[in-house]
Amino acid sequence: MTSRETRKDKRAAVLPAREGIQKAVTGFLKKALERGCFEAVMMPVRAPETRSYAWLMVKNPELLDEAAPLPPVMSVQGGRALSSLTKHGAPPLSIGVVLRPCEARAAVELVKLKQIQLDDVHVITIDCPGALPLKDYVRGGENALDRFQALLEHWDEDGAIRPACERCHRFSLDISDEDRPLAPSSKNGAFPVEIHIGLLGENKEEILLIPLNPSGEETLEKLGLTPDRPLDGWAARVRALRKKKEEKRRAGHEEFKKEISGLDRFLAVFDACINCHNCQNVCPVCYCQQCHFDSPRQHLTAQRYLDRARRRGALRLPLDPLLFHLGRMSHMVLSCVSCGACEDACPVSIPVGKVFSLVADETQPHFQYTAGKSADEPLPLQSFLKSEFCEVETPSECREHQSPEVKSHA
Amino acid sequence: MSVRIGVYVCECGPNIPDKIDIDKVLEDIAPLNNVAAAKRFRLLCSNDGKKYLADEIRKEKLTHLVVAACSPREHEKTFMQVCVEAGLNPYLFQMVNIREQCAWMIPDKAEATRMAAKHIRAGISRVALHGPLSKKELTVNPDVLIIGGGISGIEAALSLASKTRKVAIIERSDSLGGRTGKLSRLLLHQGTDVSVLREKIEKIEKDENISVLTGCEVTDIRGFLGNFEVRIESSGEEAVSRSIVVGAVVVATGCELWDGYDPAVYGAGNIDDVVTAAEFEDMIAAGKILLKNGKPPRSVALIHCVGRKEKGYCSKVCCLYALKFAHHLRDSRAPAEVYEFYSDLCLPEKTDQEYFDGAVKKGVHFLRTENVRVEKRNGHIVVEHGDGAGKKKTLEVDMAVLAPALVPPPGSEKLARMLNIPLDETGFFKEAHAMLDPVAAPIEGVYIAGCASGPKNINESVVQAQAASGKILSTLVPGKTLEPEVKISVINEDLCTGCQTCLSVCFYGAISFQAHKGVSAVNEAICRGCGSCVGSCPSGAISSRHFTYRQLYEEIFEALR
Amino acid sequence: MPKSLKTNTDVSQGVRDFLKHLLESGKVKGVLALKKMDGSGAASYAFMTSAKELAEAEPLAPLMPANAGKILSELTLKEAFGEPVAAFLRPCELRAFTELLKRLQGSRENVLLISPTCGGVFPLKFLADGSAKEKVPAYQQAARKGKNAEGLRAACRACTDFIPCQADITVAFAGGADSDSSCRLFLETPRGEEFARGAPGTFGEEKLETRELAGLREERAAQKAALFQDIGKAIQGPSALARTFSACLGCHGCSHVCPICHCLLCVFDSKMHDSQPEGFDSELERKGGTRIPAGTLFFHIGRMTHMAVSCVQCGMCSDVCPVDIPVTEVFSLVGDSLQKVLEYVPGRDVEEPVPSGTYKEDEFAQVGEQ
């Protein structure tokens, strides 16, 4: 089975892209729709005269004329969109969808949280150069579109993209190990993503379609595309860019850590927070119907408010923005995929995404867990290893059960 | 309706007034909102005390009751019963421990008094938020499923079956009897004979209240004490599936001989005339002990403790059956020389020492040694062993018999998962308490008897089977109703998103996912009210009936004020 | 003619002094008002009980990080204040609080309500980029002159309800020509008079209405007319409405910050409005395509149906929107039209019931019943 091929042996199909990436991928999806690879396509579409993009699910290929499979902004996080579609069961038709890698990773987490059904969903991911800050795009109009075009040409323009994207090193597939298959194996043999679109090939007028599982191979076959191009060129460029991005991420996090170290400085980050909870509402991983921090449990009596105010001399209202952020963090940071939707949604530009992705990078390794990597890797909050109990019950005797990260920190 | 909380401080004899100024405490709490009465009494758990409380509830028209006294473990039920008799819902009651938690541990009287008042105030805050909970009743199914048709399963079946209680024995192999059934004879010195087993099996075959399902396995079990739904499938080509409902399950799956030892060390399987105890047992049953070449052995080595180090435990029965083999070999018309290689001798029963002495008298050689190796050298079986002084010695014999460790049979893990009961580090089923509750599993309604929980001899297996039966006979009385736990968890369907995190933390298997609704639901009969699910739900869609967020918040808030 | 209390300081200091007096004399046990967060000009509402903290109060800071009417409602939702407190809130925030009181979402008991003639607030983005502080002097000057300062929220530029309704004490800010050197407090109710007794300053019979105030009213009315006309055109017909909301992410931030939206779990956040798999097939058949997440526009129209009758045009919704949808403009236009039909002004009078809960017999005739 070719999908189990190692990175070295993998081959991609080549799709010409003379009129640009958006048209090429849209064309590919239209054809796939026509050839019956799936019955509907879900893509971001720019409606006429609007300033943003919205996900549209279509059966009629003509409605895809204004589609942008890789839009300049990430308006609604793709994982969240798919979840709203499939939360209560798979729709009665098969769907093809193009997602940015962080959106696919969010979808993987949502599979484990049982808030999404990908059974009849053909997920296609694409190399991602980043997205523009939503506010900039919404206020900047055509200018912003040009900036994005430039981004697709050069791929490492500084300053144009969202802070979350600048620090993102997971913009493509994990190709770290040449001798392993590209997609992590899955219990039922299917990894949620079936095809990855490589944009970083040597030839700018071509894009690579890399099949990752039997379903992906079938799709290419139905379209008459033969995977015969080796991945070395593309892999080399991905690797080079990844190295740069990893360094940016590491340096960015180090610097930010210094900026927020110490209670006063950490609190200052949230000074402007108005407790609107936009960050929680756009987060793909935050799935609770009613957040604990929106529930009536949070209401105090007038006397209690007064008592609390008296203890410190003043009580900030609306109450406890910091408790909200830290509470939300403790609930979801182990599944945080650093997509940055939270940052885009904050009306007072708090670097929420920076804080959360920093904490995610530092906490997930303690559980030897990477959010979004595999639908088979169980969620740390739902799995219990017998050895962990000894950490709690007899910690002094337990060093051999500590994870390497914890040991190195001790 | 106004809230009228009655607060009664018990003196517990001298226990409390010696260390706490009760009047001061009463002064502190009497003026609190909603407190309708704050009084003291010498000994509330006495008959007088209980009558006094009941009278007070009626007289003061109390809507809630707080008793500040000893530990709830001692008398919570007592006072709940008082409430019931006085017409007050017993869950509108809170017990505050000011004996163990204040009087008995705070030496300074002023401090103890202050803390007692604090505890009581916290209890008052909490009780005001209690809701009246009601008990439920379930009629139990008295029937029993016994998994495993060996001696334990057989014994349990015979002890349990009656007109009002049907028993089903499910056995993987084609016949009843288990390991015991394969023995040529039992240990004569212990006064038993294999024919006893034969008689028991016949009794079972005649008993119309016992059904025997051979060639079958359990594939699913759901439920709780008094109501287990079991799916049974017959192994083999035609997999026939059926479901039965029982009230209790006895796990009597026994054990088997370990075959994972290193053949390079022990030689079985690749050296002729090195046999396992089971194979030797078969030879005895067949009537002749013969080597591969057809001749009887002139010398036999019995190797004890095969696997004791690797497995980490003693299998208890091997020394005795090795002695049995030794007696048998020495009693024959042409007795062979018998050498028993052991690291420790296990002779626990009353008559075992004598049995051993008898073997010694008959000329059996006992060699205490570690690190035995059985090899073929120059066409002969050689047993290499340490001599105790660091040197190695060898002994040439015609035949070697290995006594391997007893291990759990295959499928134990699967069964444990199905039943939601744990295995211990050795892989045997884990009892509720190895010493004090050896036949109960941690799940109510599931019992373990015989070698299923670890190597045992026949006597112990029979005792356990009878003990498990005794427990079932007294708990699962036909016609009896069970009162499941009242203080259980409840899932708000409007807020549940079906992420099933709660399922992953429920030890009792009390939560199930309702696919058609997309939400999880708590089985009120199985839920034990431990609250793990409540803590695990990030949105708070699950709450505990008697430990609501508000109740805990108010209690803690008051305690920390 | 309401009594007035005048001190010879600029209005911000005057208000602070008055609040300080209330607190220190024990007349109130706490004060709800805007408070400086740090040097950048950021401010947040705070419930202050100590003079030290009150010294950092900036009640007239041109910011609305949250609607104070919503905050006051949350403070008094479970029970009324048992001790007297003071709350400084803008006219729209006060009207929102009044609308919430009509829905039993709080209590006015023991609350001294102080409100200024309002010069408007800056959008939250100035809170974010820290530029609010430097804009303050120009803002104060414009307010004095009865003019709209540069950069105000669109809702504020067009607000004609900038004089408080049913406050206990009104502060002359906007239109107060000499508010850089005088602070005038107008005691509107017996409660206001009672709390002001003994406060430093001169009592008198000043007039709230000034030429500058009249000028501001005119300017604002013109702005409102223009705003309503523009937005009216922009939402003329269903496709235009859809277009206006097309960038919507469905974050529901607008309803979360709206003071009138008080539901514990909004029906549009509840399971009732989760998409069901069966629904998509028919949508796709009918239209060939459907938007994901579904129900974007439906949410807005639904929310409108539920709360537009009480919309006080505070502007929080537009401000919190990540994609700059003119939510306030749309909702206040629709609200205004609806309110005119029902002859209702939200927040005008706490005794005036919300129209959606009242039935007048003659209304049935309008619907066709005889």
End-to-end CA distance of chain B: 28
Q: Are residues C243 and C119 in the same domain?
A: no
- Rounded mean pLDDT, A235-252: 93
Residue A408 has a pLDDT of: 61
Share of chain B above pLDDT 90, in %: 68
Q: Are residues C179 and C258 in the same domain?
A: no
- Rounded mean pLDDT, A108-120: 93
Domain with C178, as residue range(s), is 3-223
Q: Are residues C105 and C189 in the same domain?
A: yes
The answer to whether the Cβ–Cβ distance between B550 and A381 falls below 8 Å is: no
Residues of A in contact with B536 (CB under 8 A): 381
Task: For residue A288, give the nearest of B497, B505, B536 by CB distance.
Answer: B497
Q: Where do the structural domains in chain B lie, given as residue ranges?
A: 5-133, 144-255+408-475, 263-398, 489-545
Highest mean pLDDT among A58-72, A259-273, B153-167: B153-167
Q: Are residues C178 and C255 in the same domain?
A: no
Angle of CA points C353, C158, C252, to nearest 5°: 65
B8-22, C237-251, C270-284: least confidently modelled range: C270-284
Residue A100 has a pLDDT of: 96
- The token duo for A220 is 């290419």
Q: Read off the pLDDT of residues B263-307 as tens digits, 9 standing for 90 and up.
A: 888 887 778 899 999 999 989 888 889 999 999 999 999 999 998
The answer to whether the Cβ–Cβ distance between B501 and A288 falls below 8 Å is: no
Q: Read off the pLDDT of residues A157-203 as tens digits, 9 standing for 90 and up.
A: 666 799 999 999 999 988 777 777 777 766 666 678 999 999 988 88
Q: Are residues C70 and C202 in the same domain?
A: yes
Tell whether the model's pLDDT for residue A370 goes beyond 90.
yes
Type and span of the H or E element at A15 = strand A11-16
Residue C352 has a pLDDT of: 93
Rg over CA atoms, chain B: 32
Give B419 to chain C, closest Cα distance, Å.
35
Task: For residue C37, give the nearest of A82, A139, A271 by CB distance.
Answer: A271
Strands A229-230 vs A11-16: parallel, antiparallel or unpaired? antiparallel
- The token duo for B237 is 């080509």
Residue B343 has a pLDDT of: 87
Tell whether the model's pLDDT for residue A409 goes beyond 50.
yes
Residues 6+ apart with CB under 8 A from B267: B274, B374, B375, B376, B381, B400
Tell whether the model's pLDDT for residue B346 goes beyond 90.
no
The answer to whether the Cβ–Cβ distance between B504 and A382 falls below 8 Å is: yes
Banded model confidence at residue A410, pLDDT cuts 50, 70, 90: very low
| Cα C94 from Cα C33, distance rounded (Å) | 13
Give B494 to chain C, closest Cα distance, Å.
7
Q: Are residues C73 and C34 in the same domain?
A: yes
Q: Cβ of B282: how many Cβ atoms within 10 Å?
A: 14
Count CB pairs under 8 A between chains A and C: 232
The answer to whether the Cβ–Cβ distance between B499 and A287 falls below 8 Å is: yes
The answer to whether the Cβ–Cβ distance between A113 and B550 falls below 8 Å is: no
Q: Which of C102, C99, C152 is nearest to C123 (CA)?
A: C152
Fold matches, B144-255+408-475 and B263-398: yes
Give B434 to chain C, closest Cα distance, Å.
49
Q: How many CA atoms lie within 13 A of B317 on its CB side?
A: 25
Q: Are residues C125 and C16 in the same domain?
A: yes
- The token duo for C232 is 């009216």
Q: Cβ of A176: how many Cβ atoms within 10 Å?
A: 9
Rounded alpha-carbon distances, angstroms, from residue C129 to B554, C20, C132, C137: 41, 31, 8, 17
Task: For residue A54, give the nearest of C40, C129, C246 by CB distance.
Answer: C246
Q: Are residues C136 and C257 in the same domain?
A: no
| Cα B67 from Cα B99, distance rounded (Å) | 12
- Probe site for chain A from C20, C323, C324 (most A CB atoms < 10 A): C323
Q: Are residues C244 and C312 in the same domain?
A: yes
Rounded alpha-carbon distances, angstroms, from residue A235 to A169, A182, B26, C146: 14, 11, 78, 65
- The token duo for C99 is 């609308």
| Cα C189 from Cα C170, distance rounded (Å) | 10
Tell whether the model's pLDDT for residue C138 goes beyond 50.
yes
3-state secondary structure A295-312: CHHHCCCHHHHHHHHHHH
Residues of A in contact with B540 (CB under 8 A): 290, 292, 295, 297
Q: Which of B185, B170, B143, B160 is nearest to B254 (CA)?
A: B170
Give B129 to chain A, closest Cα distance, Å.
14
Tell whether the model's pLDDT for residue A407 goes beyond 90.
no
CATH architecture of B5-133: 3-Layer(aba) Sandwich (3.40)
- Probe site for chain A from B430, B499, B514, B516 (most A CB atoms < 10 A): B499
CATH architecture of B144-255+408-475: 3-Layer(bba) Sandwich (3.50)
Tell whether the model's pLDDT for residue C40 goes beyond 90.
no
Residues of A in contact with C291 (CB under 8 A): 54-57
Give A75 to chain C, closest Cα distance, Å.
6
C residues 115-174 lying closer than 8 A (beta carbon) to B: none
**B561 to chain A: nearest residue by CA?**
A307
Q: Are residues C31 and C78 in the same domain?
A: yes
Q: In CATH, what number does B489-545 get?
A: 3.30.70.20
Residue A92 has a pLDDT of: 85
**A304 to chain B: nearest residue by CA?**
B557
Contact assessment for residue A101 and residue A336, using Cβ atoms and an 8 Å cutoff:
no
Domain count, chain C: 2
Q: Read off the pLDDT of residues C245-291 as tens digits, 9 standing for 90 and up.
A: 989 999 999 999 999 999 999 999 999 888 888 778 888 888 888 89
Residues of A in contact with B494 (CB under 8 A): 289
Q: Which of B350, B348, B372, B345 is nearest to B360 (CA)?
A: B345
C residues 236-265 lying closer than 8 A (beta carbon) to B: 265
Q: Are residues C19 and C80 in the same domain?
A: yes
Type and span of the H or E element at A97 = strand A95-99
Q: Are residues C237 and C219 in the same domain?
A: no
What mean pLDDT value characterizes chain B?
91
A residues 306-345 lying closer than 8 A (beta carbon) to C: 306, 309-310, 312-319, 344-345
Task: For residue B538, give the nearest of A114, A292, A297 by CB distance.
Answer: A292
CATH fold group of domain B263-398 = FAD/NAD(P)-binding domain (3.50.50)
Tell whether the model's pLDDT for residue C118 goes beyond 60.
yes
**B497 to chain C: nearest residue by CA?**
C271
Chain position carrying tokens 């025997």:
B212
Give A211 to chain B, closest Cα distance, Å.
30
Give A15 to chain C, closest Cα distance, Å.
26
The answer to whether the Cβ–Cβ distance between B501 and A287 falls below 8 Å is: no
Choose one of C223, C251, C281: the last residue of a domain.
C223
Contact assessment for residue B477 and residue B485, using Cβ atoms and an 8 Å cutoff:
no
**A287 to chain B: nearest residue by CA?**
B497
Residues of A in contact with B496 (CB under 8 A): 289
Give A104 to chain B, closest Cα distance, Å.
19
Residue A2 has a pLDDT of: 60
Q: Which of B312, B399, B301 is nearest to B342 (CA)?
A: B301
Banded model confidence at residue C76, pLDDT cuts 50, 70, 90: very high
The answer to whether the Cβ–Cβ distance between C264 and A296 falls below 8 Å is: yes
Q: How many CA atoms lie within 13 A of C225 on its CB side?
A: 5
Q: With an 8 Å Cβ cutoff, is C271 touching chain B?
A: yes
Tell whether the model's pLDDT for residue C370 goes beyond 60.
no
- Rounded mean pLDDT, B317-333: 91
Tell whether the model's pLDDT for residue A1 goes beyond 50.
no
Tell whether the model's pLDDT for residue C108 goes beyond 70.
yes
Q: Which long-range contacts (CB under 8 A, 24 or more apart) does A47-54 make?
A: A47/C243, A47/C246, A49/C243, A50/C243, A50/C246, A50/C247, A51/A137, A51/A138, A51/A141, A51/C247, A51/C323, A52/A134, A52/A137, A52/A138, A52/C246, A52/C247, A52/C323, A54/C246, A54/C247, A54/C291, A54/C296
| Cα B497 from Cα B404, distance rounded (Å) | 52
**Chain B neighbors (3+ CB pairs < 8 Å):** A, C
Give A180 to chain C, closest Cα distance, Å.
36
Banded model confidence at residue A400, pLDDT cuts 50, 70, 90: low
The answer to whether the Cβ–Cβ distance between A276 and C257 falls below 8 Å is: yes
A57-61, B232-236, B395-399, B501-505: least confidently modelled range: B232-236
Q: Read off the pLDDT of residues A6-46 as tens digits, 9 standing for 90 and up.
A: 888 889 999 999 988 999 999 999 999 999 999 999 999 88
- Probe site for chain C from A137, A287, A305 (most C CB atoms < 10 A): A305
Banded model confidence at residue C1, pLDDT cuts 50, 70, 90: low
- The token duo for B162 is 């009656």
Residue A185 has a pLDDT of: 65
Task: For residue A295, give the nearest of B499, B501, B540 by CB distance.
Answer: B540
Residues of B in contact with C265 (CB under 8 A): 494-495
Share of chain A above pLDDT 90, in %: 64
